[in-house]
Amino acid sequence: TTVYVPRDSAAVSVGADDVASAINRATGDDVTVVRNGSRGMLWLEPFVEVETPRGRVGYGPVSASAVDELLANGLLTGDDHPSCHGLVEELPWLRDQQRLCFARVGVTDPFSTTAYEAHGGLIGLRRALELEPAAVVAEVTESGLRGRGGAGFPAGIKWKTVLETEGPLKFICCNADEGDSGTFADRMLMEGDPFCLIEGMTIAAHAVGASEGYLYVRSEYPDAVATLRRAIDIAYSQGWLGEDILGSGLRFDLFVRVGAGAYICGEETSMLESLEGKRGMVRSKPPIPAITGLFGKPTVVNNVLTLASVPKILSDGGAAYSALGFERSRGTQVFQLAGNIARGGVFETAFGISLGELVNDYGGGTLSGRPVRAVQVGGPLGSYLPADRFDLPMDYEAFAGADAMLGHGGIVVFDDTVDMSAMARFAMEFCAEESCGKCTPCRVGSVRGVEVIDKITGGEDPDGNLALLNDLCELMTEGSLCAMGSLTPNPVRSALDHFPDDFTARATRTE
Return residues touching ligand SF4 (CB under 6 A): 264, 282, 435-439, 442-443, 480-482, 484-485
For the CB of residue 477, give the shortest distance to ligand SF4 in the complex, in Å. 10
Number of helical (H) and strand (E) elements in the chain, helices listed first: 22, 16
Which is it for strands 32-34 and 2-4: parallel, antiparallel or unpaired?
parallel
For the CB of residue 97, give the shortest distance to ligand SF4 in the complex, in Å. 35
H helix intervals, 393-488: 396-401, 420-434, 440-457, 462-479, 483-487
For the CB of residue 402, give the shortest distance to ligand SF4 in the complex, in Å. 23
3-state secondary structure 230-263: HHHHHHHHCCCCECCHHHCCCCEEEEEEECCCCH
Q: Is 251 exposed, middle or buried (0-12, 13-18, 19+ CB in 10 A)?
A: middle
Instruction: From residue 149, give the alpha-carbon distance in Å to each of 233, 344, 451.
Output: 26, 20, 31
How far is it, in rounded angstroms, from Cα 508 to Cα 74? 60
Q: Which residues contact 16 (CB under 8 A, 6 or more apart)?
A: 5, 6, 7, 45, 46
Q: What angle do CA 110, 79, 54 make, to 5 degrees?
A: 60
Nearer to ligand SF4, 128 or 484 (CB): 484
For the CB of residue 431, give the shortest distance to ligand SF4 in the complex, in Å. 7
For the CB of residue 263, give the shortest distance to ligand SF4 in the complex, in Å. 9
Taking alpha carbons only, the member of 485, 502, 420, 418 closest to residue 448 is 485
Strand order in the sheet with 253-258: 253-258, 212-217, 171-176, 299-303
Nearer to ligand SF4, 9 or 175 (CB): 175
Nearer to ligand SF4, 101 or 282 (CB): 282
For the CB of residue 268, give the shortest distance to ligand SF4 in the complex, in Å. 12
3-state secondary structure 72-111: HCCCCCCCCCCCEEEEHHHCHHHHCCCCCCCCCCCCCCCC
Nearer to ligand SF4, 436 or 495 (CB): 436
Which residues are registered as beta bridge partners of 217?
A: 176, 258
Nearer to ligand SF4, 324 or 481 (CB): 481
Nearer to ligand SF4, 272 or 442 (CB): 442
Q: DSSP letter string over 7-61?
A: -SHHHHHTTHHHHHHHHHHHHGGG-EEE-----SBGGG-S-EEEEETTEEEEE-S
Provide the sign of the torsion angle of the four alpha carbons 154, 155, 160, 166, taken in this order.
positive
For the CB of residue 264, give the shortest distance to ligand SF4 in the complex, in Å. 5
Nearer to ligand SF4, 222 or 287 (CB): 287
Task: Supply φ then ψ for residue 222, to 5 degrees.
Answer: -60, -35
Nearer to ligand SF4, 138 or 444 (CB): 444
For the CB of residue 480, give the shortest distance to ligand SF4 in the complex, in Å. 4
Nearer to ligand SF4, 457 or 490 (CB): 490
Nearer to ligand SF4, 22 or 442 (CB): 442
Nearer to ligand SF4, 1 or 440 (CB): 440
Provide the sign of the torsion angle of the four alpha carbons 449, 455, 456, 457, taken in this order.
positive
For the CB of residue 428, give the shortest distance to ligand SF4 in the complex, in Å. 12
Task: Supply φ then ψ for residue 62, to 5 degrees.
Answer: -110, 130
For the CB of residue 272, give the shortest distance to ligand SF4 in the complex, in Å. 14
For the CB of residue 425, give the shortest distance to ligand SF4 in the complex, in Å. 18
For the CB of residue 357, give the shortest distance to ligand SF4 in the complex, in Å. 34
Nearer to ligand SF4, 377 or 442 (CB): 442
Q: Which residues contact 437 (CB under 8 A, 6 or more apart)?
A: 281, 443
Which residues are registered as beta bridge partners of 84?
A: 59
Gyration radius of the chain's alpha carbons: 24
Q: Across 62-197, where does the E strand assignment appear?
A: 84-87, 171-176
Provide the sign of the torsion angle of the four alpha carbons 127, 133, 135, 141, taken in this order.
positive
For the CB of residue 280, give the shortest distance to ligand SF4 in the complex, in Å. 9
Nearer to ligand SF4, 13 or 284 (CB): 284
